[in-house]
Each structure stands twice: as structure tokens, then as C-alpha cells.
Structure 1
Amino acid sequence: MGNVFPFIHMFNVKAFALACGIFWSVSLVLFGLITMQTGMGLSLVNMLSEMYLGYGPTFIGLIYGAVWGFLDGLVCGAIFAWLYNKIAG
């Protein structure tokens, strides 16, 4: 019968996972920096610190957040891309 959707492309799992890891790591650092400078978003940073051990609106907290965010984004991105490829392919 052939492929019904020939235009559907597959994700490169490694590239997508890396992009997700970098994006989430940078996002957590930006959230923390904004909170450090303005005090805005403190409740968001506090909520995220419940999930990411050591994360907070401090310099060391930003480093912890960047590492945890990268690992979390990497794993979640890899799972998402792998699952998408299995369903689409």
C-alpha cells in the first residue's frame, strides 16, 4: 500500500536531545538570573528548586540548575524523539 504520509521525517535523537538539554539548561539559568536581579519569578524558581537539588537564585544555585536542567532536557528530549520516531515510522 505504501507510506500514507511520505513527508513525515524522523528526528535525529542525539541532536534533538542535545538541543533540549541546552535549551532547558539556559532557560533555568535565565530564570535564576532574572530572579537574582529583580526578585520577579521567585515562586517559579522556588518551585523548580523542589525538583532540581541545589537550584536557586544564587551563583552556585545557577550552576546546579544548569547541570540538572541539561541532564533533564537531554533525557526527556531523547525519550520524546525516540517515541516520536517509533510512532511516526
Structure 2
Amino acid sequence: MAMKCDVKSTALAAGILWGLALLFLGLISAATGGYASEFINTFGSVYFGYAPTFIGAIIGGILGFIDGAIAGAIFAWLYNYFSK
């Protein structure tokens, strides 16, 4: 029997990981004056409000958490579905 993946735990872990990644990268870019600005500009077109500023980093972190949680839940659900 295949092991099951807990959907809530996977969603929470993926959301935290992606949200913190976007938050820290935005804060580092704001503090250094442009580090990884191309990355932030690219993801700023996907995450409305994500910019290399303190507020933009917070917005990116929140939206990244939501996006990561949804992706993690879908991944865990698909894993459980196909591992039957």
C-alpha cells in the first residue's frame, strides 16, 4: 500500500516556503538597491504589487504564501490520487 501525503501539511509547507522566499528576496532587493531586480520585475508581473520595496515584499510574501499553498495542495492531491 502506497503512503499518503497529507494535503493540509503539504499545502502549508509549500506556502510558507514560497512566501518566505519571495518576502526575503524582496527585502534583500529593497535593502541593497536592486539585487535580483530582473527576477522581482518578472514576478511582479504575476504577483500584483510585488516590488523591491518593504511593502512590495510584504505583498509578495502574502501572495506567494497563497500561491504556494494552492500549488502544494494540488500536488499532494494529485500524488494521493495517482498513488492508489
TM range (shorter): over 0.9
Moved over 4 A (4+): none
- How many residue pairs are counted as aligned between the two chains? 83
Q: Is the 8 Å Cα contact of residues 7 and 73 (structure 2) preserved in structure 1?
A: yes
TM-score, scaled to structure 2: 0.92
- 1:40 CA displacement: 1.8
Unaligned runs of at least 5 residues, structure 1: 1-5
TM-score, scaled to structure 1: 0.87
CA distance in 2, matches of 1:33, 1:62: 6
- CA RMSD, 1 decimal: 1.0
Tell which structure's C-alpha radius of gyration is larger.
1
Percent identity between matched residues is 46
The corresponding residue for 1:19 is 13
CA distance in 2, matches of 1:61, 1:33: 9
Unaligned runs of at least 5 residues, structure 2: none
Given residue 82 of structure 1, which amino acid in structure 2 is its aligned partner?
A: W
